[in-house]
């Protein structure tokens, strides 16, 4: 009797590690990343204003439009966070994955689990807003840290299981000072070993809200921006082959002062050392002795990225000095 190629399906429980605990990459920075979520709609990028269930609401020709089909979500950097503040606790992400069993010896532990096998993902957290937030939404980003290493070939890197995955859901009204539990389920995500996630919260105008876990997303975004810079610098060097060219900023980040810290009345001066890769490697700060200000400036400036200085077409280390106004 012929044995069927697929013996059975078994269920396995997955518990995904939040990025708060990991993403140990020496090139990652914790520079602030105020985020706006956009979608690619008819070949144009449209900011997400809010969600209606699982559907994004965007502005088209001066009118709000609900987009009812699957969309590609793209987190992008903006200048500022929402004025709202929020505390998030009890964050969890787990799921039940349906696994194909190809061998009689396979179990939920030994069966192949990479990729998409179906199942259900379950997410939960509790939110406590400082001021009432209506029409907000939550974003969960899942990613594999392996995308920030050199072990993947270009073919592997484009594989769906190594691409970041984004799940977005509408939030209930969050009354000021009230702890509101929130849970949702979604189809099971594509899984890869070592996968991590972080959570972002947005207000009813599509602005990211500062929470006590916001900063856990920042190393991820810093590495994404450096990957993009690497490709851009290669094209930059090719374009200016054999030429001299001055340094120029690509990513600029506004310092985020801790709550209650007085803003400096006069500019703070920074001198940056920029590597041939366009990264900031050293910072000298003058014009303030306030430790909170100095720390915020250092945190932000470490995330600045540049097209490096070129001498005869070759990128070289250089220094740049500038005032920072608050």
Same domain, 21 and 147: yes
> Does 34 fall in a domain?
yes
pLDDT tens digits along 169-216:
999 999 999 999 999 998 877 777 777 889 999 999 999 999 999 999
The Cα 307–Cα 274 span in angstroms is: 9
Kindly state the helix (H) or strand (E) to which residue 45 belongs, with its residue range. Answer: strand 44-47
Residue 235 resides in a domain: no
On whether both 172 and 244 belong to a single domain, the answer is no
Interacting residues of 222 by C-beta distance below 8 A, sequence separation 6+: 27, 28, 29, 30, 31, 33, 303
Pairing of strands 196-202, 137-143: antiparallel
Cβ proximity of 251 and 77 under 8 Å? yes
pLDDT per residue as tens digits for the range 208-256 = 999 999 999 999 999 889 989 999 999 999 999 999 999 999 999 999 9
Backbone φ and ψ of 90, nearest 5°: 60, 35
Is the overall model pTM greater than 0.85, yes or no?
no
Backbone angles phi, psi at 50, to 5 degrees: -165, 180
Q: Quick one: 137 and 263 in the same domain?
A: no
Does residue 15 have a pLDDT over 80?
no
Does the pLDDT at position 117 exceed 60?
A: no
- Structural domain ending residue among the three candidates 223, 255, 280: 223
pLDDT tens-digit series, residues 70-115: 888 999 999 999 999 999 999 998 766 544 444 455 444 444 455 4
> What is the pLDDT at residue 119?
72
- Token representation of residue 317: 């280390």
Within-domain flag for 199: yes
Say whether both 251 and 219 belong to one domain: no
| 245 and 210 share one domain | no
Domain boundary among 223, 248, 279: 223
Q: Is residue 229 part of a domain?
A: no
Q: Is the pLDDT of residue 288 over 60?
A: yes
Task: Give 155's contacts (C-beta < 8 A, 6+ positions apart).
Answer: none
Query: Where does a domain end: 197, 223, 249?
Result: 223
Question: Is there a single domain that holds both residue 267 and residue 217?
Answer: no
Contact 258, 297 (CB under 8 A): no
Q: Are residues 131 and 200 in the same domain?
A: yes
Longest dimension (CA), the chain: 85
Considering the domain architecture, whether residues 249 and 218 belong to the same structural domain is answered as: no
Residue 1 resides in a domain? no
| Closest among 191, 214, 204, 41 to 135, alpha carbons compared | 204
- Residues 33-58 have pLDDT tens digits of 999 999 988 889 999 999 999 999 99
**CATH number for position 312:** 3.30.2420.10
Nearest to 194 by CA among 145, 156, 148, 122: 145
Residue 197's domain spans which residues? 8-223
Query: Residue 64: inside a domain, yes or no?
Result: yes
Q: 210 and 273 share a domain?
A: no
What domain count does the chain have?
Answer: 2
Backbone conformation region of residue 118, classed left if phi is above 0, alpha if psi is from -120 to 50, else beta:
left
In this structure, are 268 and 156 located in the same domain?
A: no
* Co-location of 247 and 189 in the same domain: no
| Residue 188: per-residue pLDDT | 75
pLDDT at 11 over 50: no
- What mean pLDDT value characterizes the chain? 84
Overall residue count recorded for the chain in this entry: 326
Tell me, yes or no, whether 85 and 111 share the same domain. Answer: yes
């Amino acid at each position: 009797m012929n044995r069927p190629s697929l013996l059975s399906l078994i269920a396995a429980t997955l518990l995904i590690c939040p990025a708060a605990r990991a993403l140990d990459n020496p090139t990652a920075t914790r520079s602030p990343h105020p985020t706006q979520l956009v979608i690619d709609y008819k070949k144009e990028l449209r900011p997400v204003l809010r969600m209606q269930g699982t559907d994004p609401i965007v502005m088209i020709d001066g009118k709000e439009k609900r987009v009812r089909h699957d969309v590609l979500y793209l987190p992008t950097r903006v200048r500022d966070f929402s004025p709202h503040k929020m505390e998030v606790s009890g964050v969890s992400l787990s799921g039940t994955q349906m696994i194909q069993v190809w061998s009689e010896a396979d179990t939920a532990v030994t069966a192949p689990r990479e990729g998409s096998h179906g199942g259900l993902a379950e997410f939960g957290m509790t939110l406590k807003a400082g001021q009432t937030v209506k029409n907000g939404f939550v974003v969960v980003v899942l990613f594999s840290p392996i995308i920030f290493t050199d072990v993947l070939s270009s073919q592997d890197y484009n594989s769906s299981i190594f691409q970041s995955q984004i799940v977005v859901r509408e939030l209930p009204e969050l009354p000021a000072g009230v702890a509101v539990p929130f849970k949702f389920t979604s189809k099971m995500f594509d899984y890869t070993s070592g996968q991590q996630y972080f959570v972002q919260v947005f207000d009813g105008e599509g602005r990211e809200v500062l929470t006590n876990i916001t900063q856990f997303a920042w190393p991820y975004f810093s590495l994404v921006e450096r990957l993009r810079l690497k490709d851009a610098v290669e094209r930059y060097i090719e374009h200016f082959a054999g030429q001299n060219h001055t340094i120029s900023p690509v990513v600029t980040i506004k310092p985020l002062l801790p709550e209650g810290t007085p803003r400096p009345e006069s500019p703070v001066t920074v001198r940056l050392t920029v590597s041939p890769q366009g990264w900031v490697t050293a910072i000298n700060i003058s014009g303030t002795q306030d430790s909170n200000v100095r720390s915020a400036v250092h945190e932000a400036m470490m995330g600045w990225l540049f097209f490096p200085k070129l001498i005869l077409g070759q990128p070289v280390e250089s220094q740049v000095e500038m005032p920072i106004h608050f």
